[in-house]
């Protein structure tokens, strides 16, 4: 009567695109980009060149964390106790001592045994100080043991965790590598200089710490100007070749600070002089990956993404309104910083409901709740939001009230706010962002509402575009296409990334113009999408812009290749190109750097399956399941693989496990329902497909499959109900026309 719905083939479902997949020709860019120090023919000259003319600023800088960001080890710079001190924790004993004027740490190495490691540099200043150890291949690693400068003791940043010497998180491994993770923000004009073939570094910098030129740019042209006869005679040049001066705009200042005060990925060693931050880096958005559902900080998220959510940002507040640009300290004590703009009544018990002079009455306690990172480093959320314990009651997100009143319930806190301010809360984007983040039947409306609200911060709209990528409906698709012409680069970028989850034929013409977008990150994302097309399918009008953007794409990935995720991205593209040997090579390379990276295992299994190596594919997934037994995606992929191997019993067991883990992936329910129907468990199939419809009520496939199930046990009334819904959702699909005709719909 009609086409029988089929369980999707395993290769289509196993492949999980991580992010930024792209083509890499032997992992080398076509053209070598010029390093940043050659921009505008300028040169770095060092902080001493600034001292004579800017003595006060220089003196302030000497007091700053920037100055102490990295230093050679000596009795003045080393804060830790190296007088034969011993520290035992988490299965590791470490000893700290001096020898021949040098500082050493005896601790567990990558072979599981203790060795003496010489400290090459101090790293940081307070509240903790870390130490750098040199390894072969130009690597610098950060030992797990750190010095608490306030309590004067050694400690582990992640107490209670016994980390294997072969774990990605061990101090000798990729996650604690200075060159990749830390270096660019602790030194001036750092050039990573990673060699992908030898997996080694030749990292260089102009100044060891964060000095004047980190913020103001290379100084030679500026110094040449002020020392010139023309300057002494009164000649002036706007900006005087300085990238950031006293009159710089809010955005210029924030974009200067963001490269180190944002959670982000760098695009290239070659910097573009631009007022657009996404020409040089890709900041994180406040998604559930690193933030709480309402946008509050969760992981080590730094400042930028939080601040862009705030009303302060939208009222043109900049970093230097609160912080001294050179010492980094607050320019005014306590609540005085806030009272520069806010009325004195805000510093009164009538507003704070706490007595004056205690910690609870400080503005930051309620509007900038803090979280401890790196073991002892308290950092404050810069989204400057009003506490919402009512959202905690409803959704479980944190709130500042219960941060202090830990012995009270969240309902108690919500009731207190209601008592003080009444039952109605002023709208905040979190009211839609939280339910939108759930990716369920109700999420789409909340996310599209955020995109259409002109008062919602653009960084939150970008997050909405990101979430819509997991809701593959026509409404989501049209909303994302509208985002492609938004003025904000982050929104365009995230929309492009989300479109990868939609049929390529639907977005090809919309994405083409963005190959020539004015922002590099956007061009890269557009080129990434276009690499899924064979060359003959790329429209001629985009051939030139695609070639240029594609080269930027290659340079971007090459720059990431020293990190585990970079290797995963390379492997993903090779898999898309059906170059299975190179895909396997880079998946294994990624796993060597991070043995817990199950993304790589999921896609490596896909590569094996595509070659008919199902035994290898299954072995990889079984390893992934041992590492993360509660990952529904792994069990789903195993179910598809078992089904292809004609092991229906095992397939049913794996589908069931994915459902038990409360998967929100509607394809699990679709394929599981079809399998249950195939083995004649019709009632169970009906129940599972109905759950799938609850998760994605706009999926024609789900209604089509359920219609097929009803026809199997001759329930034509329910089958017709499904066809009526199908007619509403997808009336012109040729596969459905005969059914519509047979049922008179």
Q: What pLDDT, in 10s, does the model give residues 722-743? A: 999 988 988 888 888 988 898 8
Let me know if 714 is exposed, middle or buried by CB neighbors in 10 A (0-12, 13-18, 19+). Answer: exposed
CB 118 within 8 A of CB 153: no
Residues with Cβ within 8 Å of 228's Cβ and at least 6 positions away in sequence, in order, are 235
Task: Tell how far CA 552 is from the center of its chain.
Answer: 21
C-alpha distances in Å from residue 414, one per residue of 421, 422, 435, 554 = 11, 11, 19, 51
Long-range CB contacts for residues 70-73, cutoff 8 Å, separation at least 24: 70/121, 70/122, 70/123, 70/132, 70/186, 70/187, 70/208, 70/209, 71/121, 71/122, 71/208, 71/209, 72/121, 72/122, 72/208, 73/102, 73/103, 73/119, 73/120, 73/121, 73/122, 73/131
Q: Is the pLDDT of residue 230 over 60?
A: yes
Average pLDDT over residues 407-421: 97
Q: Is the pLDDT of residue 330 over 90?
A: yes
Q: Quick one: pLDDT band at residue 7, thresholds 50, 70, 90? A: low
- Tell me the C-alpha distance between 283 and 303, whole Å: 11
Cβ atoms < 10 Å from Cβ of 245: 12
- Tell me the C-alpha distance between 554 and 567, whole Å: 13
- Tell me the C-alpha distance between 379 and 200, whole Å: 34
Q: Is the pLDDT of residue 64 over 90?
A: yes
- Tell me the C-alpha distance between 421 and 461, whole Å: 29
Task: Identify the pLDDT of residue 713.
Answer: 84
Task: Identify the pLDDT of residue 8.
Answer: 53
Task: Identify the pLDDT of residue 35.
Answer: 38
Cβ atoms < 10 Å from Cβ of 86: 12
Closest CA to 95 of 80, 85, 103: 85
Task: Identify the pLDDT of residue 182.
Answer: 93
Domain residue spans in the chain?
A: 10-18+433-742, 68-209, 284-423
Q: Is the pLDDT of residue 11 over 80?
A: no
Average pLDDT over residues 284-312: 96
Q: Is the pLDDT of residue 1 over 80?
A: no
Q: Is the pLDDT of residue 243 over 80?
A: yes
User: Could you tell me what percent of the chain has a pLDDT over 90?
Assistant: 81
pLDDT tens for 487-521 read: 999 999 999 999 999 999 999 999 999 999 999 99
Task: Identify the pLDDT of residue 458.
Answer: 98
- Tell me the C-alpha distance between 125 and 71, whole Å: 10
For the ranges 36-45, 176-185, 214-223, 417-426, which has the lowest average pLDDT?
36-45
Residues with Cβ within 8 Å of 490's Cβ and at least 6 positions away in sequence, in order, are 278, 283, 285, 458, 459, 462
Average pLDDT over residues 630-651: 97
Q: Is the pLDDT of residue 623 over 60?
A: yes
- Tell me the C-alpha distance between 543 and 516, whole Å: 11
First to last CA, the chain: 15
Assign domain 10-18+433-742 one CATH number from 1.25.40.10, 3.40.50.300, 2.60.40.10, 3.40.50.10490: 1.25.40.10
Give the chain's mean pLDDT.
92
pTM for the structure as a whole: 0.87
Average pLDDT over residues 119-143: 97
Q: Is the pLDDT of residue 559 over 70?
A: yes
- Tell me the C-alpha distance between 430 and 447, whole Å: 11
Task: Identify the pLDDT of residue 696.
Answer: 85
Task: Identify the pLDDT of residue 299.
Answer: 94
C-alpha distances in Å from residue 705, one per residue of 566, 648, 671 = 39, 19, 9
Q: Is the pLDDT of residue 144 over 90?
A: yes
Task: Identify the pLDDT of residue 33.
Answer: 40
Give, for 401, the enclosing helix (H) or strand (E).
Answer: helix 400-404
Q: Is the pLDDT of residue 13 over 60?
A: no
The more confident residue out of 139 and 576 is 139
pLDDT tens for 171-215 read: 999 999 999 999 999 999 999 999 999 999 999 999 999 999 999
Residues with Cβ within 8 Å of 506's Cβ and at least 6 positions away in sequence, in order, are 477
Q: Is the pLDDT of residue 26 over 70?
A: no
For the ranges 16-20, 213-217, 223-227, 464-468, which has the lowest average pLDDT?
16-20
Task: Identify the pLDDT of residue 263.
Answer: 95
Task: Identify the pLDDT of residue 4.
Answer: 64
The more confident residue out of 20 and 649 is 649
Angle between helices 443-452 and 458-468 (to 10 degrees): 150
pLDDT tens for 280-295 read: 999 999 999 999 999 9
Task: Identify the pLDDT of residue 659.
Answer: 96
Q: Is the pLDDT of residue 28 over 60?
A: no
Q: Copy the structure tokens of residue 94.
A: 């470490």
Closest CA to 282 of 573, 553, 545, 575: 553
Q: Is the pLDDT of residue 277 over 90?
A: yes
Long-range CB contacts for residues 242-247, cutoff 8 Å, separation at least 24: 242/216, 242/217, 243/215, 243/216, 243/217, 243/273, 244/215, 244/216, 244/217, 245/216
Average pLDDT over residues 470-495: 96
Task: Identify the pLDDT of residue 573.
Answer: 79
From start to end of 12-59, where are the E strands?
none
């Amino acid at each position: 009567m009609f086409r029988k719905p089929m369980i999707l083939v395993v290769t289509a479902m196993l492949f999980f695109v991580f992010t930024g997949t792209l083509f890499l020709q032997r992992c080398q860019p076509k053209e070598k980009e010029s390093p940043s120090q050659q921009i505008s023919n300028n040169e770095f000259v060092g902080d001493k060149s600034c001292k004579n003319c800017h003595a006060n600023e220089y003196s302030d800088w000497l007091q700053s964390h920037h100055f102490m960001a990295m230093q050679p080890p000596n009795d003045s710079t080393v804060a830790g106790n190296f007088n034969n001190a011993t520290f035992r924790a988490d299965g590791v004993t470490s000893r700290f001592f001096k020898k021949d004027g040098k500082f050493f740490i005896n601790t567990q190495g990558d072979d599981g045994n203790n060795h003496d490691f010489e400290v090459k540099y101090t790293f940081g200043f307070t509240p903790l100080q870390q130490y750098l150890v040199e390894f072969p291949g130009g690597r610098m690693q950060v030992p797990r043991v750190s010095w608490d400068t306030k309590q004067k003791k050694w400690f582990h940043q992640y107490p209670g965790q016994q980390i294997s010497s072969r774990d990605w998180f061990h101090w000798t491994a990729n996650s604690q590598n200075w060159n990749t993770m830390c270096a660019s923000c602790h030194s001036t004009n750092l050039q990573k200089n990673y060699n992908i073939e030898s997996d080694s570094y030749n990292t260089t910098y102009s100044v060891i710490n964060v000095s004047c030129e980190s913020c103001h740019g290379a100084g030679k042209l500026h110094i040449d100007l002020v020392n010139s006869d023309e300057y002494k005679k009164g000649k002036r040049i706007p900006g005087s070749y300085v990238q950031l001066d006293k009159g710089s705009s809010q955005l210029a200042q924030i974009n200067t600070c963001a490269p180190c005060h944002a959670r982000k990925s760098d695009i290239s060693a070659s910097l573009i002089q631009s007022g657009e931050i996404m020409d040089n880096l890709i900041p994180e958005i406040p998604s559930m990956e690193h933030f709480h559902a309402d946008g509050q900080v969760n992981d080590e998220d730094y400042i930028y993404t939080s601040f862009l959510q705030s009303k302060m940002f939208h009222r043109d507040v900049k970093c230097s309104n609160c912080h001294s640009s050179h010492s980094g300290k607050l320019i005014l004590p306590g609540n005085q910083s806030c009272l520069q703009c806010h009325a004195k009544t805000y510093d009164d018990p009538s507003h704070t409901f706490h007595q004056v002079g205690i910690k609870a009455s400080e503005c930051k306690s309620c509007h900038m709740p803090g979280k401890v990172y790196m073991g002892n480093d308290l950092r404050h959320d810069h989204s400057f939001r009003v506490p919402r314990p009512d959202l905690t009651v409803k959704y479980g997100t944190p709130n500042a009230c219960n941060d202090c009143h830990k012995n009270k319930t969240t309902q108690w806190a919500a009731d207190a706010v209601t008592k003080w301010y009444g039952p109605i809360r002023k709208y905040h984007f979190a009211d839609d962002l939280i339910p939108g983040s759930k990716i369920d039947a109700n999420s789409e409306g909340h996310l599209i509402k955020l995109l259409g609200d002109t008062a919602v911060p653009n960084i939150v709209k970008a997050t909405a575009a990101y979430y819509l990528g997991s809701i593959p409906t026509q409404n989501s698709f049209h909303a994302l296409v509208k985002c492609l012409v938004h003025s904000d680069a982050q929104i365009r970028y995230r929309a492009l990334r989300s479109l990868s989850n939609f049929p390529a034929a639907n977005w090809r013409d919309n994405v083409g113009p963005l190959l020539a977008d004015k922002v590099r990150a956007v061009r890269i994302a557009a080129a990434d999408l276009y690499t899924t097309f064979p060359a003959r399918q790329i429209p001629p009008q985009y051939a030139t812009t695609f070639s240029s953007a594609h080269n930027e794409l290659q340079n971007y990935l090459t720059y990431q290749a020293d990190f585990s995720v970079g290797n995963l991205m390379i492997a993903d593209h090779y898999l898309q190109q059906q170059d299975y040997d190179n895909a396997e090579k880079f998946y294994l390379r990624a796993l060597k750097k991070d043995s817990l990276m199950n993304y790589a295992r999921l896609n490596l299994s896909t590569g094996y399956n595509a070659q008919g190596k199902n035994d290898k594919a299954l072995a990889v997934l079984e390893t992934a399941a041992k590492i993360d037994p509660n990952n529904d995606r792994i069990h789903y992929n195993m179910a598809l693989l078992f089904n292809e191997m004609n092991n229906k019993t095992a397939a049913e067991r794996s589908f069931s496990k994915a459902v038990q883990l409360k998967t929100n992936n509607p394809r699990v329910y679709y394929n599981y329902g079809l399998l249950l129907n195939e083995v004649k468990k019709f009632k169970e199939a009906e129940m599972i497909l109905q759950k799938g419809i609850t998760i994605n009520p706009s999926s024609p496939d789900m209604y089509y499959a359920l219609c097929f199930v009803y026809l199997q046990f001759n329930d034509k009334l329910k089958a017709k109900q499904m066809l009526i819904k199908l007619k509403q959702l997808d009336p012109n699909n040729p596969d459905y026309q005969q059914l519509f005709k047979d049922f008179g719909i």
